[in-house]
Amino acid sequence: MALLPAAVRKFPTKIFRSNVSNINCQLRLQNRPKGLLAPGDLQLIESPVPEIRDGQALARVKYLSIDPTMRLWMAADTYLPAVGVGEVMRAIGFAEIVESRHPDYKKGDRLTGLTGLQEYVILDESAKRSFQKVPKIPFVPDTVFLGVLGVNGLTAFFGMEIAQPKKGDTLVVSAAAGATGSIVGQIGKIHGCRVVGIAGSDDKCAWIAKDLGFDAAINYKHPDWKEKLATATPKGIDIDFENVGGDIMQTVLGRMNLHGRVVLCGLISGYTKGDPGMASFATVLVKRLRVQGFIILDYASRFMEAATQLGHWKMFGKLKDRETIVEGLEKAPDAINMLFTGGNTGKLIVKL
């Protein structure tokens, strides 16, 4: 196949191409989105697959992890600098080395890390900081390294460490059928908590209550969800694992017990609205709550410890997962929007 000059296409456009290619399709940030992503915010670009030099390796991206935080990365500097306009959109992916002149990598090695929304990525000296090798485990899908044993599992693990759950505590988790929330609740059950999940559809609620063993699941789209939350938390709430913010957070805070803990993991309800997570600190004061914001990057030195524990739990059937898989890089913008419209259950993946 001939190497095409770099070209720009609008998505959604299905990419038809043979399995081996010297074109690297990339999604580059073209506009900082307002609200949900619009066509043109991410632009599909065809670049040549880069030649590698000594000390570099080339990896082909197989799966991309689609996470709410990507919407933050598009908007402004936060805990990481914003993605620059014109740059390949930042994303975590699963990739396999296809060619290597790097001493640490050989063909066939498998990694997760900041691949970006593209088909090929160059690994160089700095790769050690942004990529981790992962093993091939029989009967375990590669995508587990993006979910339960990836960023979501790690986030749930360290967030629950901050929560300091005690047996008998009532834990409420929002976005409970999401990739992180679903693991949070299961870790809560491992610790002996009463676990109540808040999710956005009856199907999601059925999954977390029946398959994952949550004690109760509340569909916040039902008009009487606040009463149902009260009924499901008769002893109040000791831990709020907060992924959503806004009215849901405010309602949960209203039922917190004195000296409760709020693990502030995400405020997804505001990410597409320019709403900066406004909520009342008065409840925090009067109920003497501890609110701890956290970002998983701070725990990098302990990822192995956490992954070992998560892998153990997974192996013994204590962490179940579900995936929503979307095929094709060109679908990544739609997939990102799904996170904010409730379209996915469990881990959202783009398969290339």
| Total Cβ atoms within 10 A of residue 298 | 10
Phi, psi (deg, nearest 5) at residue 130: -115, 0
b/e string for 299-310 if b means 16 or more Cβ within 10 A? Answer: beeebeebbeeb
Q: Does 279 bind a copy of itself (CB under 8 A)?
A: yes
Whichever of 249 and 335 has its CB closer to a copy of itself, that residue is 249
Q: Residues with Cβ < 8 Å from 274, sequence gap 6 or more?
A: 34
Smallest separation, CB 198 to a copy of itself (Å):
17
Q: Does 217 bind a copy of itself (CB under 8 A)?
A: no
Q: Does 281 bind a copy of itself (CB under 8 A)?
A: yes
Of 283, 337, 344, 345, which lies in the binding site for a copy of itself, with binding defined by CB under 8 A? 283
User: CA 229, 348, 106: angle at the middle one, nearest 5?
Assistant: 140
User: Are the beta carbons of 263 and 285 closer than 8 angstroms?
Assistant: no
Whichever of 292 and 341 has its CB closer to a copy of itself, that residue is 292
**330 secondary structure, DSSP code:** G
SS3 160: helix
| Residue keyed to tokens 């799966």 | 63
Stretch that binds a copy of itself, among 114-122, 220-228, 283-291, 311-319 (CB under 8 A): 283-291
Q: Does 278 bind a copy of itself (CB under 8 A)?
A: yes
Whichever of 245 and 311 has its CB closer to a copy of itself, that residue is 245
Q: Which of residues 118-177 bind a copy of itself (CB under 8 A)?
A: none
- Residues in the interface with a copy of itself (CB under 8 A) total 32
Whichever of 11 and 158 has its CB closer to a copy of itself, that residue is 158
Residues near a copy of itself (CB under 8 A): 72, 78-79, 245, 249, 259, 264-267, 270, 276-295, 298
